[in-house]
Amino acid sequence: MDYFNSLTATSVVVIIAFPLLFLFSFLWLSRRNTNSKKTVPEAGGAWPIIGHLRLLGGPQPPQISLANLADKYGRMFTIKLGVRRALVVSNWEIAKECLTIHDKALATRPKAVAMELLSYNHAMIATAPYGTYWRQMRKFIIIELLSNHRLNLLKHVRESEVNTSLQQLYQLWNKKKSSNSDKVLVEMKRWFRDVTLNVILMMVVGKRIPNSYEGVETVEWKKSVDEFFELGAKFVTADAFPFLRWLDIGGEEKRMKKVSKELDQLVEGWLREHKEKIAENEANSEEDFMGVMLTKLRDVEEHDANTINKATNLSLVLGGEDTTSITMTWALALLLNNRDALNKVQQELDSHVGKDKLLVTESDAKNLVYLQAIIKETLRLYPAAPLSVTHEAIEDYTVNGYNISAGTWLIFNLHKIHRDPHIWTNPNEFRPERFMATHKDFDVRGQNFELIPFGSGRRMCLGVSFALQVLQLTLANVLHWFEFETRHQTKQSICVKHQD
Ligand code: HEM
Ligand SMILES: *[C@@H]1O[C@H](CO)[C@@H](O)[C@H](O)[C@H]1NC(C)=O
Ligand SMILES: *[C@@H]1O[C@H](CO)[C@@H](O)[C@H](O)[C@H]1NC(C)=O
Ligand SMILES: *[C@H]1O[C@H](CO)[C@@H](O)[C@H](O)[C@H]1NC(C)=O
């Protein structure tokens, strides 16, 4: 009876409801249609299961592969990286919306396996998830190391390190030049790395590493650092497929553990030295950042103080060394391919610093507007982190009219953003002059979203001021002291001739 009743009831409902249901589903479908217009385009060419993973593995650099996809799929599109989805932004207006209105919603980082293994389980600031630990560390680093006040106090460290490195380069030239030629072949990339590394180490741990032409420690350190970057950039299979992690396909996890152990030992050594010094009361314990940290840092819940100390120092050294020295290498390479600009900047140096004064100081460097334009143009064409550092959405958000769900990764293609033909005439050409004319008021500190080599917003690079100081000082000096030319089109080998 009940059954019958309910059946009738059901039939009634069905009969009455069916047209309504039909109507609703029609409406729903048509709404879904307008919605699907509002679904971010997904780039084609995804392979089953792995998605677009192979795009990030070469042979082209990933920023180029992604720029090509932007030409096809537009200013924002998604790619699939195994089970993860990433939004790729290739337009400055959308980047601006992300880094202003949605900055907070986008302030965390993906937990990539590489970063877990290489960065003390995310204790490094650059990869730390958004939260109390990250906020405290960021504040601490800024106040103790990278504030304008601290940076001013450390001016002599930068000037004296740059001086030392220049003297070494001069000696190398002096030793290698022969009677029939005063030109000497030098790998400038290596020299730029040595300067940068020593300036940063001096500030952070209060010591320098003998340059590449001398010590064993340097060689080992460099090897580990190179591997760190190679592996850190690696998107391990386990990131795309968390459930496959135990297999360690390709053995990358094993290598990562090895590299992180090597770096850890090195840093551990520095830490030990500091603690011994403090114990012996021998030196002013707050001379360098590590000392300051040791004195001030108490255990923060998530990580113990030792780990924080090591992770922080190491992330500053690693975060600053490669980026800054690569930028200098690009600047010199661009100048060598644009001799007019090279002549012009050397003239600027001659007229502002003078031929009789050899060492360019930071206060001199401030007045070198053309040099600054060169640095900006270099950072525009070859941002040291062409895909920035990946963000992850903490919550759902709507950008440019599209709904993006929490957990989606966010990749800014700075390479593409910086070459927008609507903003830059002849975007692929090296034209520092634009920063003295049409783009005079553009800076790189995250206010002009057309040019964001250091990112912008909460997660913006902490080292901007420091990096710009080192770039200006080192480039100014090396261009003032030496003449350069290329040989046999070898990109990294540059002939150095000391100026008379
Ligand atoms: C030319 C040199 C450099 C470039 C182009 C550069 C670029 C960047 C970029 C694009 C980011 C990511 C921003 C984002 O997530 O939106 C970043 C983050 C960071 N950079 Fe730099 N950087 C440079 C030098 C340095 C130096 C010298 C240091 C330190 C001494 C440094 C420390 C950091 C740190 C700690 C972060 C992470 C910030 C966070 O996640 O909260 N960088 N950098
Ligand atoms: C630069 O280094 C040289 C050699 O080490 C030293 O004699 C000179 O005084 C230094 N100059 C400055 C300004 O520090
Ligand atoms: C996007 O999300 C907002 C707020 O969550 C919602 O009101 C809107 O209907 C959504 N739009 C689409 C196209 O899904
Ligand atoms: C980093 O900071 C910590 C904390 O003061 C310090 O012990 C360590 O030696 C510093 N340097 C490096 C490279 O970790």
Residue 2: pLDDT band (50, 70, 90) is very low
Residue nearest atom 18 of ligand 1, based on CA coordinates: 461
Q: Which fold has domain 105-384+419-498?
A: Cytochrome p450 (1.10.630)
Q: Distance, CA 168 to ligand 2 centroid (Å)?
A: 11
- Tell whether ligand 4 has an atom less than 6 A from the beta carbon of residue 290: yes
Binding residue ranges: 461
C-alpha–C-alpha distance, residues 496 and 241, integer Å: 49
What is the domain partition of the chain in residue ranges?
Answer: 105-384+419-498
Task: Give the range among 200-214, 225-239, 307-321 with minimum mean pLDDT.
Answer: 225-239
pLDDT of residue 197: 82
Q: Which atom of ligand 4 is nearest to the CA of 316?
A: 13
Task: Give the range among 16-25, 125-134, 274-283, 400-409 with minimum mean pLDDT.
Answer: 16-25
Give mean pLDDT, residues 295-302: 49
pLDDT of residue 16: 36
Q: Distance, CA 181 to ligand 1 centroid (Å)?
A: 42
- Tell whether ligand 2 has an atom less than 6 A from the beta carbon of residue 448: no
pLDDT tens digits along 252-288 = 666 666 766 776 676 677 667 766 766 666 555 556 6
Q: Which of 184-188, 235-239, 262-266 has maximum average pLDDT?
A: 184-188
Q: Distance, CA 310 to ligand 1 centroid (Å)?
A: 18
Q: Distance, CA 163 to ligand 2 centroid (Å)?
A: 6
- Exposed/middle/buried for 247, CB within 10 Å: 0-12, 13-18, 19+? exposed
Mean pLDDT of the chain: 77
Q: Which atom of ligand 1 is nearest to the CA of 452?
A: 10
Q: Distance, CA 332 to ligand 1 centroid (Å)?
A: 21
Q: Say which ligand is closest to the CA of 225.
A: 4
Answer yes or no: is pLDDT of 341 > 60.
yes
pLDDT of residue 433: 96
C-alpha closest to that of 90 among 80, 82, 101, 79: 79
C-alpha–C-alpha distance, residues 377 and 380, integer Å: 5
Task: Give the range among 95-104, 131-140, 431-440, 451-460 with minimum mean pLDDT.
Answer: 131-140
Give mean pLDDT, residues 410-429: 96
Answer yes or no: is pLDDT of 137 > 60.
yes
Q: Distance, CA 462 to ligand 1 centroid (Å)?
A: 6
Residue 219: pLDDT band (50, 70, 90) is low
Residue 248: pLDDT band (50, 70, 90) is low
For residue 112, give every residue at least 6 positions away whose Cβ sits within 8 Å of its Cβ, in sequence order, or none.
Answer: 127, 235, 236, 239, 390
- Tell whether ligand 2 has an atom less than 6 A from the beta carbon of residue 171: no
Q: Distance, CA 32 to ligand 3 centroid (Å)?
A: 12
Task: Give the range among 27-31, 332-336, 468-472 with minimum mean pLDDT.
Answer: 27-31
pLDDT tens digits along 64-93 = 999 999 999 999 999 987 778 899 999 999
Structure tokens at 42: 């997904």
Structure tokens at 213: 């032409």
pLDDT tens digits along 141-175 = 888 778 888 888 889 889 999 999 999 899 888 88
CA-to-CA dists, residue 126 to 111, 120, 217, 264, 459, angstroms: 11, 12, 26, 17, 8
Q: Distance, CA 213 to ligand 1 centroid (Å)?
A: 28
pLDDT of residue 105: 96
> For residues 56 and 337, which has the higher predicted lDDT (pLDDT)?
337
pLDDT tens digits along 299-319 = 444 455 555 565 566 666 666
Residue nearest atom 8 of ligand 4, based on CA coordinates: 290
Structure tokens at 223: 């090897």
Residue 18: pLDDT band (50, 70, 90) is very low
> For residues 463 and 420, which has the higher predicted lDDT (pLDDT)?
420
For 189-192, the CB contacts below 8 A with 24+ separation are: 189/325, 189/329, 189/492, 191/165, 192/325, 192/328, 192/329, 192/332, 192/474
- Tell whether ligand 2 has an atom less than 6 A from the beta carbon of residue 486: no
> Pocket residues for ligand 1 (CB within 6 Å)?
125-126, 138, 315-316, 319-320, 323-324, 327, 383-385, 388-389, 453-455, 459-463, 466-467
Answer yes or no: is pLDDT of 36 > 50.
no
Structure tokens at 160: 């004296």
- Tell whether ligand 3 has an atom less than 6 A from the beta carbon of residue 38: yes
Residue 121: pLDDT band (50, 70, 90) is very low
Residue nearest atom 11 of ligand 1, based on CA coordinates: 461
Residue 22: pLDDT band (50, 70, 90) is very low
Q: Say which ligand is closest to the CA of 35.
A: 3
What DSSP line would sit under 268-330, residue for residue?
A: HHHHHHHHHHHHTT-S-TTSSHHHHHHHH---BTTB-HHHHHHHHHHHHHHHHHHHHHHHHHH
Q: Distance, CA 398 to ligand 3 centroid (Å)?
A: 7
CA-to-CA dists, residue 389 to 113, 272, 412, angstroms: 15, 32, 8
pLDDT of residue 427: 97
In percent, the amount of the chain with pLDDT more than 90 equals 38
Structure tokens at 111: 């937990």
Asked whether the whole model's pTM tops 0.85, one would answer: no
Pocket probe mutation, ligand 3, options 32, 35, 39, 403, max atoms within 8 Å of Cβ: 403
Residue 6: pLDDT band (50, 70, 90) is very low
Binding residue ranges for heme: 461
In percent, the amount of the chain with pLDDT more than 70 equals 64
Pocket probe mutation, ligand 4, options 289, 300, 303, max atoms within 8 Å of Cβ: 289
Pocket probe mutation, ligand 2, options 167, 353, 358, 364, max atoms within 8 Å of Cβ: 167
Distance of CA 253 to the CA centre of its chain: 22
